[in-house]
């Protein structure tokens, strides 16, 4: 127990110190984790052999990552990207694999080893690149989008690679080795017998195939038909941790099922993710799984860092460095060629080229997986993992090159063009009861993309029946807002039926996303003032407008000219607003409104009693509304020189 | 639409009445001394439709279909308004911009208004003497309203010169309003019953001075 706590403490400590520093230096979190690992492993030797075991466990983060990648992949989005995804992404993986395999063959490696190396280095670092693009605000540029398609293709390509690699096992290495959580598809042959649990062991070929197909079908059909009622049932219990538990249960369950039929768990969870991508629970699932994925992947990177063998680097620095540069150059050439072939501008082409030239985290996964499956000799694997790590460490340098050499060289107008962002920006609407619904309908009708969140499963259910895109989740949870895409949203509308939560949300969002516009539903004047104080951009009293409308209707009903009514109500609104603003300056949020002396004094000044207040209304309104179209005085033409 | 000339002949023989649409634009009717009594008098005449545009569209959201339908259902279109900055109050401009669509009011298929009569009935604060080349307003009312004359022409309508009350701010105090209202009623009835000499009227600068001569006895 003590040992476990000690280790956990060391890992967490390293991460907590290294990652924020790395981020501040513009290196990104992946590099932070790697550096943390390097520090506690090779540098000060606090952790040792157990990293191997921890790494196997941490690989489950990859399974979760693929689940999340699946969740992001709505069919419509995939279809829009199809050309780049398959063309650009497919060619990138194929050409890079081919070139690197060829290079490895020329160095005299066995073909299966060469091919494995080719596959490993065809991948780039989704984690580093996406994060960097986001941080630099480049993800919506043409180059950023092209990069995303390539990365997405690579992430999907990992799945067949995981299936392929065991088939490349070197006969002389087969025999020992452990199993991995990432995949249970084992090397065929004698190695299979050490598996404890399997549904397909000893089955004839046709039965094996049937069971496998059955398992996939149950993931697809179950995901499509069973998951919604199940999540709805759980959601109605309003117990957040149970929802989290069920999300974890789903992912682990599918991973387990896949393991039992000798398939890749990553494949299974990816499919489940795609099936759930259109579900109203998508954002809630994302926000539940995300932290686990983040921590596990972080742990994974730390173990990779800790496992780096610096002796190899120091013994053979020249080879390692030239291999790294070689990999970056080959990948860069392929990327640049393809970017030009796919008609990207020079700037965008360079972004893709320099951004994606590194090897990626999946490279580590494939490396440790190849090692377990006796595809690569151990010594070669540790050399290669050094190359992967170094190429990733160089990524920030390449991005700096991009910033300094490419962007600076481009004339202003060209850069504008590269930044051509075709969306007006989306809006998140929290709360979709009677209030939020109207806001949403107006926005959708105006062609604005909205993401609707509500914590009542039945409302979401009803909305999805009438075709409104909405998601289940407690909108006051920061993670859910994150999953709903608040980073890229233009505005957040808070229309929930809860005073204090509204206030908390405004405070939270203002603190973490200073850019986004916040619009909120206020319950009354006091609430409105609190919201203003919390930094809301616009708050609207929920009953003010409807009361005013009813007042207008009443005036018309008793025979006041409709245009006069229009003028009166406009004047009333202005008068009320300016009164509110003067009072706001005096108002002090810590004091209950009624006991606030300054406020009361001012209110008294405006009118001792409600009656006087109304008298003021009457007079001021008269002045305001009478001003327009006042005819000139009777004899005004006298002094006009007629 | 049918041929206007034939139309006229047929209605002449049948003594059919013409339907008159008055589009009233006054943004503060409760203070009006001239246009309100004129509107009330017009509303009391049979066969006349009076539309208070500011009452119907206080938020300026003019219903294009409804307004076009109204135009189709009438033969004489009158803009009744106080003269504001040598033109109409804003809502009448909005009305023109929205309702007079291409292929409805103009253009190769835009024949909906062909043959209809159009005129302005307005009140001006300035004296008549000011509305001439030597006066401080330099132009006659008909000259100032040329955009509307041309509007009528483009839409194939027959334009009549304005029916105007000058010195409108003192008309009530000086007891000139009663006579003006009587003339207004006579004009509307003559238009309705087709007793107005259109050809002669079209050449005048205004309808007021020679109104009695223009109205033919049946
Ligand atoms: C905004 C405004 C603009 C006006 N512009 C003119 C003008 O250009 N020429 C003029 O003779 N009178 C002008 N007047 C005076 C009005 O024509 C006059 O007040 C109106 O015809 C009186 O009619 P009523 O009693 O029905 O309101 C203007 C009045 C207002 C309020």
| CATH, residue A397 | 1.20.1530.20
Say what percent of chain A tops pLDDT 90: 17
pLDDT band at A610 (very low <50, low <70, confident <90, very high): low
Is B5 part of a structural domain of the chain?
no
Is B3 part of a structural domain of the chain?
no
For residue B150, give how far its alpha carbon lies from the nearest alpha carbon of chain A (Å): 27
Q: Is residue A66 located within the same domain as residue A183? A: yes
Q: Is residue A185 located within the same domain as residue A69? A: yes
Q: Is A638 on the interface with B (CB under 8 A)?
A: no
pLDDT of residue B5: 54
Is B1 part of a structural domain of the chain?
no
- Across all residues in chain A, what is the average pLDDT? 80
Nearest residue, CB atoms, B58 vs list A566, A632, A642: A566
- For residue A641, which residues of chain B lie inside 8 Å, CB to CB? 136
pLDDT of residue B4: 53
Q: Which of A490, A507, A542 is the last residue in one of the domains?
A: A542
Among B169, B172, B174, B176, pick the best mutation site for testing chain A contact (most A Cβ within 10 A).
Answer: B169
Is A485 part of a structural domain of the chain?
yes
User: At B177, phi and psi to the nearest 5?
Assistant: -70, -35
pLDDT of residue A595: 58
- Token readout for A421 is 């962002």
Q: For residue A480, give its domain range.
A: 424-542
pLDDT digits (tens, 9 = 90+) for A443-459: 988 888 888 888 777 77
For residue B44, give how far its alpha carbon lies from the nearest alpha carbon of chain A (Å): 19
Element (H, E) at B123: strand B117-123
Is pLDDT of A598 > 70? no
Q: Which residues contact B7 (CB under 8 A, 6 or more apart)?
A: B115
Number of CB pairs < 8 Å for A and B? 59
Mean pLDDT on A130-134: 72
Q: Is residue A574 located within the same domain as residue A514? A: no
- For residue A631, which residues of chain B lie inside 8 Å, CB to CB? 31, 82, 125, 169
Is this complex's ipTM strictly greater than 0.85? no
Mutate to test the pocket of ligand 1, among B124, B135, B177 (most ligand atoms within 8 A of CB): B124
Q: Is B137 in the pocket of ligand 1 (CB under 6 A)?
A: no
**How many structural domains are present in chain A?**
3
Is B182 part of a structural domain of the chain?
yes
- For residue A636, which residues of chain B lie inside 8 Å, CB to CB? 125, 169
Q: Is residue A123 located within the same domain as residue A181? A: yes
Nearest residue, CB atoms, B30 vs list A561, A630, A635: A561
Angstrom distance (rounded) from CA B103 to CA B85: 31
Is A199 part of a structural domain of the chain?
no
Q: Which residues contact A613 (CB under 8 A, 6 or more apart)?
A: A603, A606, A607
For residue A215, how far is the Cα from the chain centroid? 29
User: At A172, phi and psi to the nearest 5?
Assistant: -75, -15
Angstrom distance (rounded) from CA A143 to CA A147: 6
DSSP assignment of B49-60 equals EEEEHHHH-TT-
Q: For residue B143, give its domain range.
A: 16-214
The residue in chain A having the minimum alpha-carbon distance to the alpha carbon of residue B172 is: A634
Q: Which of A410, A444, A472 is the last residue in one of the domains?
A: A410
Q: Is A632 in the pocket of ligand 1 (CB under 6 A)?
A: yes
Angstrom distance (rounded) from CA A142 to CA A515: 23
Decide if B130 and A637 are in contact by the 8 Å CB cutoff: yes
Rg over CA atoms, chain B: 17
Decide if A641 and B136 are in contact by the 8 Å CB cutoff: yes
Crossing angle (nearest 10°) for helices A60-72 and A142-164:
130
What distance, in Å, lies between the first and last C-alpha atoms of chain A? 105
The residue in chain B having the minimum alpha-carbon distance to the alpha carbon of residue A566 is: B58
Please name which of A584, A551, A596 lies closest in space to residue A570, comparing C-alpha atoms. A551
| Locus of tokens 């490696």 | A109
Nearest residue, CB atoms, A637 vs list B27, B59, B126: B126
- For residue B82, which residues of chain A lie inside 8 Å, CB to CB? 631
Which stretches of chain B sit within 8 Å of chain A by CB?
27-31, 54-56, 58-59, 82, 84, 89, 125-127, 129-130, 135-136, 167, 169-170, 173
Q: Is residue A79 located within the same domain as residue A134? A: yes
Is B2 part of a structural domain of the chain?
no
Angstrom distance (rounded) from CA A174 to CA A93: 28
- CA of residue B56 to ligand 1 center, whole Å: 22
Q: Is B144 in the pocket of ligand 1 (CB under 6 A)?
A: no
For residue B45, give how far its alpha carbon lies from the nearest alpha carbon of chain A (Å): 22
- For residue B30, which residues of chain A lie inside 8 Å, CB to CB? 561, 564
Is A635 part of a structural domain of the chain?
yes
Q: Is residue A398 located within the same domain as residue A301? A: yes
For residue A50, how far is the Cα from the chain centroid? 32
Is A224 part of a structural domain of the chain?
no
Decide if A564 and B30 are in contact by the 8 Å CB cutoff: yes
Angstrom distance (rounded) from CA B203 to CA A53: 104
pLDDT of residue B80: 98
More confident residue, B163 or A390: B163
- Token readout for A44 is 């000060």
Is pLDDT of A589 > 60? no
Q: Is residue A399 located within the same domain as residue A470? A: no
Is A278 part of a structural domain of the chain?
no
pLDDT of residue B97: 96
Provide the CATH number for the domain around residue A441: 3.40.50.720
Mean pLDDT on A141-164: 84
pLDDT digits (tens, 9 = 90+) for A413-438: 333 333 333 344 689 999 888 899 89
Is B9 part of a structural domain of the chain?
no
For residue B20, how far is the Cα from the chain centroid? 9
Q: Is residue A470 located within the same domain as residue A531? A: yes
User: At A98, phi and psi to the nearest 5?
Assistant: -60, -45
DSSP assignment of A256-284 equals HHHHHTT--HHHHHHHHHHHHTTSTTHHH
- For residue A566, which residues of chain B lie inside 8 Å, CB to CB? 58-59
The residue in chain B having the minimum alpha-carbon distance to the alpha carbon of residue A625 is: B28
Candidate ranges A12-26, A46-60, A297-311, B49-63; pick with highest mean pLDDT: B49-63
Decide if A642 and B135 are in contact by the 8 Å CB cutoff: yes
Q: Is residue A363 located within the same domain as residue A479? A: no
pLDDT digits (tens, 9 = 90+) for A560-575: 999 999 988 888 888 7
Q: Is B86 in the pocket of ligand 1 (CB under 6 A)?
A: yes
Mean pLDDT on B209-217: 89
Is pLDDT of A171 > 80? no
Is A36 part of a structural domain of the chain?
no
Q: Is residue A593 located within the same domain as residue A464? A: no
The residue in chain B having the minimum alpha-carbon distance to the alpha carbon of residue A568 is: B58
Is pLDDT of A255 > 60? yes
Please name which of A330, A301, A351, A411 lies closest in space to residue A104, comparing C-alpha atoms. A330
- Across all residues in chain B, what is the average pLDDT? 92
Q: Is A318 on the interface with B (CB under 8 A)?
A: no
Number of Cβ within 10 Å of residue A336's Cβ equals: 18
Q: Hey, what's the torsion of the CAs at A139, A143, A148, A154, to 10 degrees?
A: -150
Is A20 part of a structural domain of the chain?
no
For residue A565, give how far its alpha carbon lies from the nearest alpha carbon of chain B (Å): 8
- CA of residue A639 to ligand 1 center, whole Å: 16
Provide the CATH number for the domain around residue B80: 3.40.50.360
Q: Is residue A301 located within the same domain as residue A179? A: yes
What distance, in Å, lies between the first and last C-alpha atoms of chain B? 28
pLDDT of residue B137: 95
For residue A274, how far is the Cα from the chain centroid? 16
Is B157 part of a structural domain of the chain?
yes
Nearest residue, CB atoms, A642 vs list B28, B55, B129: B129
Angstrom distance (rounded) from CA A356 to CA A364: 16
- CA of residue B143 to ligand 1 center, whole Å: 17
Mutate to test the pocket of ligand 1, among B38, B83, B130, B164 (most ligand atoms within 8 A of CB): B83
For residue A569, give how far its alpha carbon lies from the nearest alpha carbon of chain B (Å): 11
Strands A517-522 vs A538-541: parallel, antiparallel or unpaired = parallel
Q: Is residue A363 located within the same domain as residue A441? A: no
Q: Which residues contact A576 (CB under 8 A, 6 or more apart)?
A: A544
Please name which of A63, A203, A563 lies closest in space to residue B89, comparing C-alpha atoms. A563
Q: Which residues contact A342 (CB under 8 A, 6 or more apart)?
A: A84, A87, A88, A146
Is A213 part of a structural domain of the chain?
no
| Rounded (to 5) percent helix, strand, coil in chain B | 40, 15, 45
Is B197 part of a structural domain of the chain?
yes
More confident residue, A425 or A525: A525
- Reported for A461-464, long-range contacts at CB under 8 A and 24+ positions apart, including other chains, are A461/A232, A461/A280, A463/A432, A464/A280
pLDDT digits (tens, 9 = 90+) for B116-134: 999 999 999 999 999 999 9
- For residue A563, which residues of chain B lie inside 8 Å, CB to CB? 27-29, 54-55, 58
- For residue A642, which residues of chain B lie inside 8 Å, CB to CB? 126-127, 129-130, 135-136
Angstrom distance (rounded) from CA B38 to CA B181: 6
The residue in chain B having the minimum alpha-carbon distance to the alpha carbon of residue A627 is: B28
Q: Do the beta carbons of residue A317 and residue A510 sit within 8 Å?
A: no
- For residue B89, which residues of chain A lie inside 8 Å, CB to CB? 629
Decide if A632 and B169 are in contact by the 8 Å CB cutoff: yes
Mean pLDDT on A266-287: 83
- CA of residue B58 to ligand 1 center, whole Å: 20
pLDDT of residue A37: 86
Number of Cβ within 10 Å of residue A7's Cβ equals: 16
Please name which of B27, B131, B178, B57 lies closest in space to residue A564, comparing C-alpha atoms. B27
Is pLDDT of A487 > 70? yes
């Amino acid at each position: 127990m003590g040992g476990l706590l000690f280790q956990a403490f060391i890992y967490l400590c390293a991460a907590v110190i290294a990652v924020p520093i790395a981020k501040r230096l513009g290196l990104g979190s992946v590099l932070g984790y790697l550096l943390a690992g390097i520090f506690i492993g090779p540098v000060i030797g606090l952790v040792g052999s157990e990293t191997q075991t921890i790494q196997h466990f941490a690989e489950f983060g990859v399974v979760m990552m693929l689940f999340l990648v699946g969740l992001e992949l709505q069919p419509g989005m995939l279809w829009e990207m199809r050309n780049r995804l398959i063309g650009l992404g497919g060619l990138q993986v194929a050409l890079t694999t081919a070139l690197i395999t060829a290079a490895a063959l020329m160095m005299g490696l066995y073909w299966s080893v060469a091919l494995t190396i080719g596959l490993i280095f065809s991948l780039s670092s989704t984690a580093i690149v996406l994060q960097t693009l986001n941080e630099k605000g480049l993800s919506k540029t043409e180059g950023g989008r092209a990069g995303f398609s390539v990365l997405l293709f690579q992430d999907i390509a990992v799945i067949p690679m995981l299936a392929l690699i065991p088939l490349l096992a070197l006969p002389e290495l087969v025999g020992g080795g452990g199993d991995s959580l990432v995949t249970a598809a084992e090397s065929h042959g004698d190695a299979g017998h050490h598996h404890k649990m399997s549904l397909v062991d000893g089955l004839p070929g046709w039965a094996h195939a049937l069971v496998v197909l059955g398992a996939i079908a149950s993931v697809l059909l179950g995901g499509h038909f069973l998951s919604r009622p199940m999540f709805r049932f759980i959601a109605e219990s309003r117990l957040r941790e149970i929802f989290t538990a069920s999300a974890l249960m789903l992912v682990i369950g599918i991973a387990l099922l896949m393991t039992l039929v000798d398939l890749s768990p990553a494949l299974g969870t990816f499919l489940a993710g795609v099936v759930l991508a259109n579900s109203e629970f998508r954002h809630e699932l994302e926000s539940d799984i995300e932290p686990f994925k983040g921590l596990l992947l972080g742990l994974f990177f730390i173990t990779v860092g800790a496992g780096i063998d610096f002796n190899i680097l120091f013994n053979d620095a020249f080879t390692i460095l030239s291999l790294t540069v070689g990999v970056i150059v080959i990948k860069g050439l392929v990327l640049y060629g393809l970017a030009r072939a796919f008609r990207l501008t020079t700037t965008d082409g360079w972004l893709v080229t320099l951004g994606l030239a590194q090897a990626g985290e999946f490279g580590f996964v494939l490396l440790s997986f190849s090692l377990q499956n006796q595809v690569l000799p151990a010594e070669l694997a540790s050399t290669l993992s050094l190359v992967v790590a170094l190429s990733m460490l160089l990524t920030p340098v390449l991005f700096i090159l991009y910033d300094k050499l490419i962007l600076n060289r481009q004339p202003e107008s060209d850069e504008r063009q590269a930044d051509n962002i075709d969306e007006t920006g989306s809006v998140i609407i929290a709360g979709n009861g009677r209030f939020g619904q109207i806001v949403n309908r107006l926005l959708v009708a105006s062609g604005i993309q909205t993401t609707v969140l509500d914590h009542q499963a039945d409302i979401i259910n009803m909305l999805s029946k009438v075709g409104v895109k909405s998601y289940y989740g407690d909108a006051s949870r920061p993670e859910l807002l994150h999953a709903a895409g608040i980073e890229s949203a233009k505005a957040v509308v808070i229309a929930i039926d809860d005073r204090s939560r509204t206030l908390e949300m405004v405070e939270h969002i203002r603190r973490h996303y200073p850019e986004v516009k916040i619009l909120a539903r206020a319950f009354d004047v006091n609430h409105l003032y609190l919201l203003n104080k919390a930094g809301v951009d616009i708050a609207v009293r929920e009953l003010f407008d409807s009361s005013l409308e009813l007042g207008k209707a009443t005036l018309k009903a008793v025979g006041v000219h409709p245009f006069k009514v229009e003028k009166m109500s406009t004047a009333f609104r202005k008068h009320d607003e300016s009164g509110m603003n003067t009072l706001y300056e005096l108002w002090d949020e810590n004091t209950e409104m009624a006991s606030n002396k300054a406020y009361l004094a001012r209110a008294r000044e405006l009118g001792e009693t409600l009656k006087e207040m109304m008298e003021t209304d009457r007079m001021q309104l008269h002045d305001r509304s009478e001003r327009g179209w006042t005819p000139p005085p009777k004899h005004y033409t006298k002094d006009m020189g007629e | 639409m049918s041929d206007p000339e034939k139309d006229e002949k047929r209605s002449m023989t049948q003594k059919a009445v013409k339907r008159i649409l008055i589009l009233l634009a006054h943004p503060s009717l409760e203070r009006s001394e001239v246009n309100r009594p004129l509107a009330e008098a017009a509303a009391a005449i049979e066969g006349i439709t009076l539309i208070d545009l500011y009452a119907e569209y206080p938020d300026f959201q003019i219903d294009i279909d409804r307004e076009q339908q109204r135009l189709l259902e009438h033969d004489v279109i009158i803009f009744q308004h106080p003269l504001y900055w040598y033109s109409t109050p804003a809502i009448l401009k909005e009305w023109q911009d929205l309702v007079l669509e291409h292929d409805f009011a103009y253009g190769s298929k835009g024949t909906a208004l062909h043959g209809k009569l159009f005129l302005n009935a307005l009140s001006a604060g300035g004296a008549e003497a000011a509305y001439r080349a030597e006066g401080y307003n330099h132009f006659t009312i008909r000259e100032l309203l040329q955009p509307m004359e041309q509007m009528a022409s483009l839409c194939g309508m027959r334009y009549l010169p304005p029916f105007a009350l000058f010195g409108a701010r003192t008309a009530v105090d000086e007891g000139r309003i009663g006579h003006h209202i009587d003339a207004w009623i006579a004009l509307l009835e003559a238009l309705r019953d087709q007793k107005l000499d259109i050809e002669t009227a079209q050449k005048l600068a205004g309808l007021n001075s020679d109104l009695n001569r223009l109205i033919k006895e049946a």
